[in-house]
Chains A and B, each alone.
Chain A
Amino acid sequence: MSNEYWAELSGVKKRFGKTVALDGLDLQVRPGELFSVLGPNGAGKSTAISLLLGLLKPDSGAARLFGASPFRVEARRRVGVMMQEVTLAPELRVREHVALVASYYPHPFTPAEAMELTNISSLASRPYGKLSAGQKRQVQFAMAVCGRPKLLFLDEPSVGLDVRARETMWATLRQLVHNGSSIVLTTHYLEEAESLSNRVAVLNKGRLIASGTVNEIRALVVRKHITCSTVLGADQIAAWPDVESVTRDQQRLQISTSNSEAVVRRLLAADSNLQELEVRRAGLAEAFTELTQEAA
């Protein structure tokens, strides 16, 4: 194990009964990066995170956290966690929840500092059970950062947050990464991953099907979309080389192609009155859909 990675899965296999959750997965989290783990439901994201947090044991392969077994509490003392589904004691006040989690760490923020960092100071004396769903997520976020962790695991952190609270959380995350922490994010909001991530991993059926920067992932999908208003027939264009599909949407044609330059040149040559030409590259969401469909 090199110290290059703060968290690492190498060749991990994990089964639940007959279901293969992870099938030889390799995943590395480097210092100071925001790393998004994406994948459709059942892709193995939660299993991967659970292995890195020492909640599960791999059937084969290894999970490492700061070079040690995630089962070691010393390794987990450098980690903050925000889980997707957890119900905290409704009777305890926000400050008390943060204080309890802070007590687990060697050099935590004071509860007041952690609440200030996450913009929830005004909730400090409120009983947790009286908070809205979004406020509860904010409290869980404060609990995740209160131990001054080097590595944060956030599972769907912005579910239920309003726009302002989400922007505050994003700003805090960017600042944490700027200050040298790493963050592992699992999210269904691809725009969240697109906006925040340095690096993305796409899982499907327990395997890593793509990883890289957001741009690298988008570039994996070579297909581009051309829309234009033309007198040419859809059937005619569909017969051209490199054209994958053509659909007519009212007066406009939608052309999918892996060689947009050649198709655009031919379009302009064939129809001198061609209008409203638009060429669009696949976004992360589209790349994601394509990658996971290809792998299916």
Chain B
Amino acid sequence: MNATSFENPNGFESPRPFDSFHDSSVAAVMSTGRLLGAYLAEAKFESLRMFRVLGFSIPFLVLPVALYLLFGVVLFGEAIRNDPAAGKFLFAAFGVFGVMGPGMFGFGATIATEREQGLLTLKRALPAPAGSYLLAKLLMTMLFALIVMATMIPAALLLGHLPLTFAQCASVTAISVFGSLPFCAIGLFIGTRVSGKAAIAFVNLIYVPMMHISGLFYPLPKFLRTISPVWPTYHLQQLVFAALGMSSYGRTAIHIAVLAGLTVLLTAFSIRRLARVG
């Protein structure tokens, strides 16, 4: 495109690409490449901005590996050398912890806030491709989960002295990346229903108990253990245990079905709500 200059009535003179404003080729059809590019741009800028929000990126990217190093290496490193299962338990716990946060807060709080701020309305008025807004947040969350694993695995191998095979590392990474989806769905469900301020409170209302009474960090008393399967963290933890070659409860297929079912159900409710209410 050639930039051409024009003199406007107010005397501003600058090279402006007006002449090509109406390209004869302008049609409302997007090539597949450009459509894909739009989805990628949305995901790229969503990730970029969440990385730049230090109040989001530092706790969710640094905290899991930092806590793992604190408990798994500094405090109990000696004991774990003689009991790799305990080391793997801590690794699994902080891994699942790292996967929970970005989905619940990245979806929950940000969607609620952006709805209030009119951003969702603007996206609906603009020709943003279908679902690109939610998909971008999903990919951002998966990227965060990937980074959590990319820092925890070297920490576990090099400093935690955990005997992990390549296959175990790969499968635990895949489980974590896809395991972030049900937490996205929970966040989405909350974020499409309440205000921005309330969303943080509601997310915490689920996040904190889920972290503490689903058996993630420590053995539970019997009455809590019987209800722990209601928490998605329990199922994700069992999948990670199985992937690490540890003893686990329940069948893999059931855990996957519960997590997938929760994701699909909550997402469907939320999308319906978004389409109706915005």
Contacts and interface: CB of A to CB of B under 8 A. Distances in A.
B122 A113 contact: no
Contacts of A89: 45, 49, 119
B12 interface: yes
A113 B28 contact: no
B122 A77 contact: no
B10 A171 contact: yes
A261 interface: no
Contact of A175 (B18, B22, B28): B18
B22 A150 contact: yes
A174 B18 CA distance: 11
Interface residue SS majority, chain A: loop
Interface residue SS majority, chain B: loop
Contact of B127 (A96, A99, A104): A104
A55 B8 contact: no
Contacts of B23: 107, 148
Contacts of A55: 121, 124-125, 278
A103 B41 contact: yes
B27 A106 contact: yes
A107 B10 contact: no
B194 interface: no
A270 interface: no
Interface stretch (A9-17, A22-30, A78-86, A212-220): A78-86
A6 to B, nearest CB: 12
A74 B30 CA distance: 9
B38 interface: yes
Contacts of A86: 117-119, 121-122
B34 interface: yes
A76 B125 contact: yes
B137 to A, nearest CB: 12
Among A78, A91, A92, A116, max chain B CB count under 10 A is at: A91
Contacts of A191: none
Nearest to B122: A86
A92 B30 contact: no
A72 B16 CA distance: 31
Contacts of A147: 127
B129 interface: yes
A74 B125 contact: no
Contacts of A79: 125, 127
Nearest to A99: B41
B121 A106 contact: no
B25 A107 contact: yes
A88 interface: yes
B21 interface: yes
Interface of B: 1, 3, 6, 8-10, 12, 14-19, 21-23, 25-31, 34, 37-38, 41-42, 45, 48-49, 52-53, 117-119, 121-122, 124-130, 278
21 contacts: A55-B121, A55-B124, A55-B278, A76-B125, A76-B127, A81-B125, A86-B118, A89-B45, A91-B53, A96-B45, A96-B48, A100-B42, A100-B45, A105-B30, A106-B30, A107-B27, A116-B3, A116-B14, A119-B14, A171-B9, A176-B21
Q: Which 6 A-B pairs have the closest CB atoms?
A: A87-B117, A103-B41, A86-B118, A171-B8, A91-B52, A77-B28
